Structure 1
């Protein structure tokens, strides 16, 4: 029997489960669509691959930092917990305000709609079914997770294996289509000149596609032997993602060429269609639907833990902070997050929200990893079960590089960055207003 109190999470996730969460949380639908946008901002296949390698190495640096943070504080809530302890309630609330109330449900709504698009395309359902199918998918995921983390992990493992199979299929098809002229896929595309600013700006959508590695830290309170499991799962899972991403982009370039990739609206389907016709496009549509569905499962599970931690802190409705004593799941937080995601799905207002909060999400990662310096300074004599290598170089490289990319993006698209900062700033009066409302009244 568990020795954990009835109002606490139970550590039920193995190393395999945790690694699948990392892979499933990062690989959603982006890798099947975003490479075309990256190609449009570069002038050669080599530049495309360089961007994906740089983004992967940079994300690996961030993942190693998150591995130490998770090992130091293996609690549900992840970045919210680190910010609360290092910098106080206000920065933690602003992160939760941006992520748990906007970014998580917005990303769930967006990816659930992508899942429904591909599901309907594969099954022949008309477009009018897209929103109902997306909402139904969210309801199904919430329902499964209400039974506890093991049920959610089982679903995650199945759909992560399916999405890896879809990526392997794409790589094989790309190599078959190349037929001995792999070198030309990296050549310069003279018909597509781009500026250096566009090349730098292309790193943000690359990083966005690599995002999601923090979901395991959100679920750290349910990982077995977390000081050992979290670093291993984060490292192995993210290394696997980088390999998958580089290989699949090479497959796109080999099969479509740089110009073909830049002109494609659905590179995965176009690649499959070249070898297998419409049947191939249907097969990969099923794979993308599985990948998107698996991502939604992780985003809902992780986001609900952040929301539950905020509720337990009194930074949101207290009822949201409850953990069901039988299933050990944050059932009210799951229902609240799922409901809000469905509202965004049916209203169709999620795309703009995501554009507005992408900068905020990566700012959250920057400040989250910055807490590592606080932990090292304030707990200098406390042994850590895992310490990030090459400290302080790796966290500094991540913080400075990501902040520079965010700055370049703000210069290139000031409206989205400005709205992101405005959303964060609106959290300040919300924080003080909530504290005033929730403060106990004296008689």
Structure 2
């Protein structure tokens, strides 16, 4: 394949940091604390879930910095897995990433944008069914989601500079608006609510809290399962921090700036998430958090802070947040399919750049599948089901640092994982505990994602066989940069 265009390094450290933060912050922080509270039942355990998730995210990000400095090229995690293991492992990641992990996330964020748009413009409500075919109903919210996905895809096909302007602008706007919500929320803090939520007797009382206020005790082992189940939401809300590694070929001074942007972006978002949840416990009782209408905790809190205008304020914030989030997801994800195609593991033409030096066909194929997920209405269930697989691939990637340290001890490492080997090992152990607990107590969160991933095995060998028949050989790990 003759490459007529090449990636153009255009993203600065600020742009890269905004991509990390912007891809992380979607609609999750406004919603998932309700389910977490129902699972753990106390303010202390609510914060513990967010702290442990933040620790895992920061640890992973600091570890990925070493890999990004060693292999600063498009594809990110896909490339790291190939270099540390083999093309099959990296393909399984790319397969699950394309079929569900990334495209279903784009769909979910797109529909979240549409749902909150309906707060201001009711015709876009998900209850407004425009087409009913019996086996498929299409709402105004789903169509708006698809329009947004198509628009952002088009913008990103016009070059990386077009995408970065939207990304940086909208991420700064969402960070400032979240900070504003936190400040106004803490100003409106109710001492009696705060005291009740943080009373010594209940702060670490782990139990199930039902929306009607009734409680249910856990056995010791079931308590660990409840924590793991609660972390599904916080992990989803903190995911996609690694999207900046996918777009490494378009970042200025990538060996330095990718690692820095990972550290800065995840640190900023982790701090904001913790402060937001502290604010929730200052204005809402635990029961109010657990029983928030459709889990929209931020809307309930905003009503307390701003009165009737609160719904519109939060709706605007989530519209800005999800729009910017989807731009980052759309921009970065296509680079994974591009790298797979360059290895002969995806449609050949996906491995070509358009006249604007971006993988245009990869962007449009991603757009089509994300739009299909938007129409299906099943993206939410699938995202719960693939949390297990996402963490498994994170663990494999971080373990890859240890493998490459032994296999390539003299390879250039402009940046080294902070706290190596202690922090990477701690992450792997925590990830294993999370996955094992989900297998035991929430198997419905594990097997669907595993099945989707494992279906990639026969697909991989069919592709390799087809390539062999055409005289093409799948690219093997280079072990060098």
* Shorter-chain TM-score tier: over 0.9
Q: Counterpart of 2:309?
A: 279
Q: Counterpart of 1:199?
A: 227
Structure 1 contact 171–247 (Cα < 8 Å) conserved: yes
Can you list the C-alpha shifts for 1:286-308, whole angstroms capped at 9, x where unaligned? 11111111111111122100011
Q: Counterpart of 2:289?
A: 261
Q: Counterpart of 1:27?
A: 25
TM-score, L = length of structure 2: 0.87
Q: Counterpart of 2:245?
A: 217
Note the aligned Cα RMSD (angstroms): 1.6
Q: CA deviation at 1:180?
A: 4.0
Task: Please state if 1:121 is matched with 2:119.
Answer: yes
Q: CA deviation at 1:355?
A: 2.6
Equivalence map 1:343-354=2 (5 Å)? 343-354=372-383
- In the alignment, which of 433, 437, 443 is matched to residue 414 of structure 1? 443
Q: Counterpart of 2:359?
A: 330
- In the alignment, which of 321, 326, 330 is matched to residue 296 of structure 1? 326
- 4+ residue runs of structure 1 moved beyond 4 angstroms? none
Distance 2:49 2:158 in 1: 41
Partner-residue secondary structure (3-state), 1:410: helix
The farther-off stretch of 118-127 and 387-396 is 118-127
Task: Please state if 1:242 is matched with 2:265.
Answer: no
Structure 1 contact 146–329 (Cα < 8 Å) conserved: yes
The farther-off stretch of 149-158 and 414-423 is 414-423
Q: Counterpart of 1:314?
A: 344
Distance 1:193 1:167 in 2: 33
- In the alignment, which of 198, 211, 228 is matched to residue 186 of structure 1? 198
Partner-residue secondary structure (3-state), 1:125: helix
- In the alignment, which of 41, 44, 47 is matched to residue 39 of structure 2? 41
Structure 1 contact 186–258 (Cα < 8 Å) conserved: no
Q: CA deviation at 1:149?
A: 1.2
Partner-residue secondary structure (3-state), 2:415: coil
Distance 1:269 1:201 in 2: 23
Q: Counterpart of 2:136?
A: none
Of Structure 1 and Structure 2, the greater helix share is in 1
TM-score, L = length of structure 1: 0.95
Unaligned residue ranges in structure 2 (runs of 5+): 129-139, 206-213, 472-481
Q: Counterpart of 1:355?
A: 384
The farther-off stretch of 190-199 and 115-124 is 190-199
Q: CA deviation at 1:372?
A: 0.6
Structure 1 contact 356–420 (Cα < 8 Å) conserved: yes
The farther-off stretch of 247-256 and 278-287 is 278-287
Corresponding residue pairs, total: 437
Equivalence map 1:104-183=2 (5 Å)? 104-127=102-125, 128=128, 129-181=140-192, 182-183=194-195
Q: CA deviation at 1:199?
A: 2.5
Can you list the C-alpha shifts for 1:306-365, whole angstroms capped at 9, x where unaligned? 0111111110100111112x3111000000000111111122232232233221112111
- In the alignment, which of 461, 476, 479 is matched to residue 432 of structure 1? 461
